[in-house]
Amino acid sequence: MTSFIKPTALSLAIATAFFSTSLNADPREDALGVIHDMASAMGNGQVARVVNSYTQDGLLVLNKTDFRGPEMLTAAYTEFAAISPDIRFEYEDLHITGDIALHIAPWSMTGTAPDGTAVIDSGLSVVVLQKQTDGEWQILMDLPHAEASDQE
């Protein structure tokens, strides 16, 4: 009887942990986690991790240039990773409706160019995330300098 009880108890404990984690998942924390993980990955030069934060047709808009899809995003972030950016959010505003999340945050960044020159930048980040069929959030659109968008 003991040999039946131990595996059954273990299976029940694992199932309970799995379901309680899934049921208690906070979509706000999950969506913010994508943003924070991406910022951390950029600072560590983990370009593939940054690119994997985006949907397959994810869009990054920089200086009125659209970078769409893994190949273009990899090119854009490889150059950016060279400065080892340290990105800080002043505050974060997140709104979720259904499978779409909107993240708005003023940010500042410091880094060092390959020639040793200090790089300092700041802006207003507007990011649209989309919840995927597997429950994970990914970036659909990313405007790190939304404050510079045309007002036409």
Where are the domains positioned within the chain? 26-148
* C-alpha pair distances (Å), 77 with each of 104, 136, 142: 21, 22, 13
CATH class of 26-148: alpha beta
Q: What is the pLDDT of residue 2?
A: 52
Q: What is the pLDDT of residue 110?
A: 98
Residues present in the chain in total: 152
Residue 22: which pLDDT band, with cuts at 50, 70 and 90? Answer: very low
- The mean pLDDT of the chain is 87
Residues 6+ apart with CB under 8 A from 142: 54, 58, 59, 60, 61, 125, 127, 128
Residues 6+ apart with CB under 8 A from 76: 60, 62, 67
Residue 148: which pLDDT band, with cuts at 50, 70 and 90? Answer: confident
Residues 51-67: what's their mean pLDDT? 96
Residue 13: which pLDDT band, with cuts at 50, 70 and 90? Answer: very low
CA dihedral sign, ordered 44, 46, 49, 54: positive
Residues 70-97: what's their mean pLDDT? 96
Percentage, residues of the chain above pLDDT 90? 77
The larger pLDDT score, comparing residue 148 to residue 2, is at 148
Residues 71-78: what's their mean pLDDT? 96
Q: Taking 70 as the threshold, does the pLDDT of residue 12 lie above it?
A: no
Q: What is the pTM of this model?
A: 0.80
Report the C-alpha gap between 58 and 67 in whole angstroms. 8
Cβ atoms of 143 and 150 closer than 8 Å: no
